[in-house]
Structure 1
Amino acid sequence: MFIFKSSKELIVYLLNIIRLYKKIWSISKGYIFSSVLIVFLKSIHPFNSIFFLKIIVDELIGESRFEYAVTYAFLFCLLELIIRSLNAILWTYEQKKILEFKTEFIKEINIKTMSLSYQQVEDSKLLDEKQKALEIFYPRQAHFMDLKNTLIDSKQLVAFIVQLLGVLTIMLTLTPYVFIILLSTYFISILLNTIASNKEFNVWSNSLVNIGRRIGYFQEISTDYAYAKEMRINQLGQWVVDKIYYYFNSMKKDVTNSVRVFTLISIIANTLQIIVNSSVYFYLGYLAYQSIITLSELIVYVNSLGIFILALTGITSCLISLQKAGMHLSTYFNYVNKVSNYSQNVVDSKQELELINSQDITIEFVHVWYKYPNQDSYTIKDLNLKIECNEKLAIVGENGAGKTTLIKLLLRFYTPTRGSIFINGINIEGIEIADYMKNITAIFQDFNILNFSLSENLSFDKELNKDSLSKVLTDLDIGKVIEDLPHGINTEIGRLFNKEGVELSGGQKQKIAIARALIKNSPLIILDEPTAMLSPKAEYEIYTNFAQLTKDKTTVYISHRMSSCRFCDRIAVLDDGKIVELGNHKQLMELNGEYHNLYTKQAEFYKNINDNSILNSF
């Protein structure tokens, strides 16, 4: 049963190699033709020496024609030079093309990752799958799976099979029993090594990828500039090193067990091969001693046996290598064929598309429930809310009330467990994700400023409108700061790649993030505490300007500072995933409920801070 299963799996894994070559054919047909030529040269190369050595020995011993022997020796050397030169040229070409293929395949994986939903890329299992998919191109835990080795071994396998068939015709002229014994021995060897390879792959797949990703993370936080301050303030160096060694020792334990099994099986297989090979060589020596075969025939048989052994050994090695690569290619093909869980039932009528792309946006949550994967309790519970066109809505509540989850549902990072969200009366799950994202933009508390130019940070791959850009930067009180930069708006942010790059303050970065959202000019804007690093006064000034800049847009705010909500048309108070209060500032204060408590507590907190500041000044 195991043999059948292994044979079936081996065929599947080898078919993955063929799938790989089909993808390569679509990238470079010339590489396939060069591969055919490489296989041809490698296949005929060993027979060059067999053929000419027999002729030369026969000329020297039989006919005693020395000049003919020299001529054949010259032809042998000339042909050897041509074959080796062509191999060297093709090898150089192959290295260049393999780098090109790696680039294309990595690009494909990155595009696939970007096409998956936010909820999918949060899944640790999917992150492991991505790492496995990357292993074939840039191996970290599985060095036998490198694309370069896979392509080389696949061509070697074909060449070895051709060589085997060639020497088979020679060996069969001696006796078929020698061939049968050798072939049986190597079949047993392949079977044993396949068992070992399966065990090795299971260790890698179930353990090493996840542990390797953890070690990589600790290596990142120990060297990445973003973590530099926390690492030094808290003296975390030894703690991180201890973590690395803990996971390294776990990896070492799993690898040691795998290597022990692999080594034992290899010793058994190699011992069997040595015994059989030695017996065949003694048999050939006996035939020559009894004058059953001539000296030239002995040379042919010995060389053929050597090629036969090398070919079978090579086939065994290549099959094991390609089996491992094929296993890993399965994870690669599974990953790149993974379907995004964004809804595929998109609207297609002209009228509905016009409604989606309208500048007048109305959002409605209808009986929306949501709970996170593998969780029993709901984070959002039967939520009903309508956000009117051009309305300024603030969402407030204690930590854990569900504010950010609600925003992620609106952004389609998550899909409601139950209920629906509508934009202009159309279920957002039925809108093409690219069309939907054109109509919405968001600024988060944990926003990112990339190590690119300021211009690229503001518009990415879109063309900037200089007039609208100037107005936005002026309104955010950052225009003068940008003018004073070494290269203005083309100045590179950060010093990760350029020592002349500029480090902006936290407040400046937040204003850049807000400017980015405004420049996108989407009809729906979400602010999830993007001004948390600013003072209350600076936040109030930005929000006041922001309200003017977004007067013709629908805007949703999340902020822990209650004073920032006063200019909003309505305020929704969340508690335990439910909207418990809804109204403007005056209405909610008069209710004397949850919002009143949050507002007065925070006002008292800031009053105490101001009083202490005044006392400390004396």
Structure 2
Amino acid sequence: MSKRKSPVSFKNTVHLSLRGLGIWWRENPCLLLSILICGIIEALSPYVDIWLLARLIDEIAGARDQQQLTVYVLALMSTSAVLSLLCTGLTRWKNTQLASLWHTQNKVFIEKLLSMDFADMDDSHVQELRSQIWQNTDSGGWGLYKLIYSFETIVRAIMSIIGASFLTASMFILPVKTNDGGSMILNHPILVLLIFAVMLGVTFAAPVLSVKAGSYWIKYADENQLGNRLFGFWLGELGNDRSKALDVRIYRQDILSRNNLKKYNPFIPTSKLAKASRGPMGGYSAMSGAISQLFVGVAYLFVCLKALGGAFGVGAIVQYVSTIIALSSGLSTLIEALGDLRNNTPFLHTVFNFLDLSNKMEQGDAAINQYNRNGYEIEFRNVSFKYPGQDNYALYNVSMKFHAGQKLAVVGMNGSGKTTFIKLLCRLYDPTEGEILLNGINIQKYSYHEYMKLFSVVFQDFKLLSFELGQNVAGSIAYDYGKAVQCLRKSGFGIRFDKLPKGLSTALYKDFDENGINISGGEAQKIAFARALYKDAPFIILDEPTAALDPIAEFEIYSRMEQMIGEKSAVFISHRLSSCRFCQDIIVFHMGRLTQRGSHEVLVSDKSGMYYKLWSAQAQYYKAVD
């Protein structure tokens, strides 16, 4: 994290902080408005009470005019009540807006993830940036989060300074009237300036030391991130993720090793941050507090000496003591908040390094005729591809055509390039070399979103969400009931569906509904099938579509495949070569190259080819269904 060790300029701090606040304004302007208005009212309210209280005390100590006293008492009571009621209402509004802070920030990053090129989203550097942002937020509220609370602090501090300055200024101007004990020297301009300078110096020193203490969060940010990541993984993912539950219980003694947590945990006494807290970090904080108290002593001494000299009365003492301490506190708070913003700048750099990632995939605008279902032809022309940061080709010099209505099987050993072929077909990646054509036009020229509408895909690691069954099938909150049911029956989920009392309204899993149902891997795969059918795209792609099914269920699925898919184009990726017998065309990948193509009968007759080797290795499992 070398960036954190380089000096941070004031200009850079202002630029990034304003840019970050601009994001909050775009996402939720009421949040900033509520903080601003609430901060102004809450910061200035005490000074109204202080001013009225000082007048009341002066009247009690002086003329004691009952009419005037009544006016001051009523004014003090009414303004206090009104301002208290107003502050309560504004605070409620502000807190309502702050309640959405985490979700709003999460929305910003999720929208970025969903809008970026899949190649970037799948990149380890991007994932590391994302992880750093969350760890920074979790460990000390750094990044965009810090801006909100710093903004609130700065608004309050500035308004407090304005209010206190207005009520304090006369303390330095009003002259001492008696020379008892040489108090007339307090009228000397140089002494007044000197006392003011001392107060100002003390006021600035305290927050500077406090900011210095806070800088240790930056110094040990890397260790804190790692510790938070391990701690969160241990208590969060391993404890809550049902997909890891079985492994955790079998291997928990090794996985949940407390020694690992002790080694990297930033919250234990032996961590670097804890040692710094007991050492220089704690020392700076203690010095900051001590200096703040020194200021209080200087302020009391100056006010009392001027009061003894007859510069002002008892009520003014209350006013000046309260406001000068508030002025110092406001200045210290402002300086500390600005220091926090400076400390926050490196963390904002990480945020904007992520948000500023630009999409490199060419986004065309050519329209696709969505109704030309029988006129699509896809061609791979000398396509080669390397994953980012890799030297070896995942696919090399692949050329082939695929026509509408065709059923294509894609087979090969693990790592042969099958899934990469699908990712390129769906334009999750662009080829490193060569081009992919749709009806003779490079797919990069088409509208990306229109091109994506051509494909329904069931990936090997597909995910279902903890929402209603119908919403999972449709991929939408609103859906066509009859169409969703039809797709479920086509996919083989009909028997289980008929047993569900709430039908399509049944929640999957129990994350949001205690009456939700848990489903088996095979059932989940059938729902994923139904989702692919519901989209009704001209191309259906199935990546290991029967991986979670037993051989009998697999045979049933493939027996109904023609009925399920109909006239649509279909691409099957499978390690179980039984699926190939339902396809007119089979392509074989080996070590990133397309090595064979043909029907099952043609390929299995070539005993020197990879297809024959794969088929022979699995043939014993297909005898029962021949």
Report the TM range for the smaller structure's normalisation: 0.7 to 0.9
Q: Aligned partners of 1:255, 1:552: CA distance in 2, in Å?
A: 64
Shift, 1:53, TM fit: 4.1
In the alignment, is residue 362 of structure 1 matched against residue 384 of structure 2?
no
Change (3 A) 1:13 1:264: farther
| Count of aligned pairs between the two proteins | 597
Asked whether the equivalents of residues 369 and 378 of structure 1 are also in contact (C-alpha less than 8 Å), the reply is yes
Q: Tell me what 1:19 maps to.
A: 22
In the alignment, which residue of structure 1 is the partner of 2:578? 563
Residue identity matched to 1:153: T
Residue 394 (structure 2) pairs with residue 379 (structure 1): yes
Closer, same or farther: CA 552–17 of 1 in aligned 2, 3 Å? closer
1:449 and 2:468 matched = no
Paired position in structure 1 for 2:10: 7
Counterpart-to-counterpart distance in 2, 1:475 and 1:294: 91
CA distance in 2, matches of 1:247, 1:123: 29
Return the offset for 1:472: 4.4
Distance in 1 between the 2:595 and 2:508 partners? 43
Alignment of 1:469-480 (within 5 A): 472-480=487-495
* In structure 2, C-alpha distance between the alignment counterparts of 1:525 and 1:370, rounded to whole Å: 23
How many Å apart are 1:299 and its aligned residue?
A: 4.0
Partner of 1:603: 619
1:147-182: per-residue Cα shift (whole Å, max 9, x none)? Answer: 763453243133223235324523442623332222
Distance in 2 separating the partners of 1:599 and 1:340: 42
State the Cα distance separating 1:337 from its structure 2 match.
5.2
Tell me if structure 2 keeps the 8 A contact 1:201–1:324: yes
Q: Give the aligned partner of residue 47 of structure 2.
A: 47
Q: Give the Cα–Cα distance (whole angstroms) in 1 for the partners of residues 6 and 229 of structure 2.
A: 33
Q: 2:334 aligns with which of 274, 299, 315?
A: 315
Structure 2 length normalisation: TM-score? 0.84
Equivalent in the alignment of 1:614: none
In structure 2, the residue matched to 1:458 is 473
Correspondence 1:402-421 to 2 at 5 A? 402-421=417-436
- Once the two structures are overlaid, the 10-residue window that deviates more, 54-63 or 415-424, is 54-63
Seq. identity, %: 26
CA distance in 2, matches of 1:470, 1:41: 58
- Matching of residues 181-260 of structure 1 within 5 Å: 181-201=198-218, 203-204=220-221, 206-209=222-225, 211-218=227-234, 219-232=236-249, 234-236=250-252, 239-242=255-258, 245-246=261-262, 248-249=264-265, 253-256=271-274, 259=277, 260=279
> Does structure 1 residue 586 correspond to structure 2 residue 604?
no
Give the aligned residue type for 1:494.
Y
Deviations 1:397-447 (A, max 9, x none): 111112112212222222322222222222223333321221011112222
Structure 1 residues 167, 328: CA separation in 2 closer, same or farther (over 3 Å shift)? farther
SS at match of 1:572: strand
The residue matched to 2:335 in structure 1 has which SS? Answer: helix
Rounded to whole Å, the distance in 2 between the matches of 1:273 and 1:466 is 68
Q: Contact 1:167 / 1:307 at 8 angstroms: preserved in 2?
A: no
Pairwise CA distance, 1:17: 6.0
Q: Which residue of 2 aligns with 1:553?
A: 568
The residue number in structure 1 matching 2:183 is none
Q: What is the CA distance between 1:118 and its match in structure 2?
A: 2.8
1:83 corresponds to = 83
3-state SS, counterpart of residue 227 of structure 1: helix
CA contact (8 A) 1:17 1:322 kept: no
Residue in 1 that maps onto 2:413: 398
Counterparts of residues 104-253 of structure 1 (less than 5 Å): 104-130=104-130, 139-143=137-141, 145=145, 149-150=149-150, 152-167=152-167, 169-173=169-173, 175-201=192-218, 203-204=220-221, 206-209=222-225, 211-218=227-234, 219-232=236-249, 234-236=250-252, 239-242=255-258, 245-246=261-262, 248-249=264-265, 253=271
Match of 1:265 in 2: 284
Contact 1:38–1:155 (CA under 8 A) maintained in structure 2: no
Could you tell me which amino acid in structure 2 is paired with residue 141 of structure 1?
S
Return closer, same or farther for 1:429/1:369 CA change in 2, 3 Å cut-off: same
Residue 534 of structure 1, aligned match among 537, 549, 561: 549
Instruction: Kindly provide the amino acid, as one letter, of the partner of residue 115 in structure 1.
Output: S
Residue in structure 1 matched with residue 588 of structure 2 by the alignment: 573
Q: Helix, strand or coil for the counterpart of 1:486?
A: coil
Residue 577 of structure 1: how far off its partner (Å): 0.7
Aligned residue type for 1:179: F
Question: Considering only aligned residues, what root-mean-square deviation do their CA atoms show, in Å?
Answer: 3.5
Question: For the residues of structure 1 that align with 2:33 and 2:550, how far apart are their CA atoms?
Answer: 66
Partners of 2:380 and 2:151 in 1: how far apart?
A: 53
**Which whole-Å CA distance do the structure 2 matches of 1:301 and 1:243 have between them?**
57
Aligned partner of residue 499 in structure 1, secondary structure: coil
Structure 2 SS opposite 1:580:
strand
Could you give the per-residue CA deviations for residues 174-227 of structure 1, whole angstroms, max 9, x where no partner exists?
A: 6233322222333344444444444423543x4434543443333222232222
Give the aligned partner of residue 505 of structure 1.
520
Q: Which runs of 5+ in 2 are unaligned?
A: 175-191
Tell me if structure 2 keeps the 8 A contact 1:134–1:332: no
Assess if the C-alpha contact under 8 Å between 1:171 and 1:304 holds in 2.
no
Q: Secondary structure at the match of 1:412?
A: coil
Structure-1 separation of matches of 2:91 and 2:315 = 34
User: Contact 2:507/2:516 (CA < 8 Å) preserved in 1?
Assistant: yes
**CA offset digits 1:477-528 (Å, max 9, x no partner):** 4323312222233322223333333333332222222222122221111111
From the superposition, tell whether residues 27 and 281 of structure 1 become closer, same or farther in structure 2 (CA, over 3 Å).
closer
Conserved? CA contact 1:171–1:179, under 8 Å: no
- Unpaired runs of 5+ residues, structure 1, are 611-618
Distance between the aligned counterparts of 2:70 and 2:571, measured in 1?
91
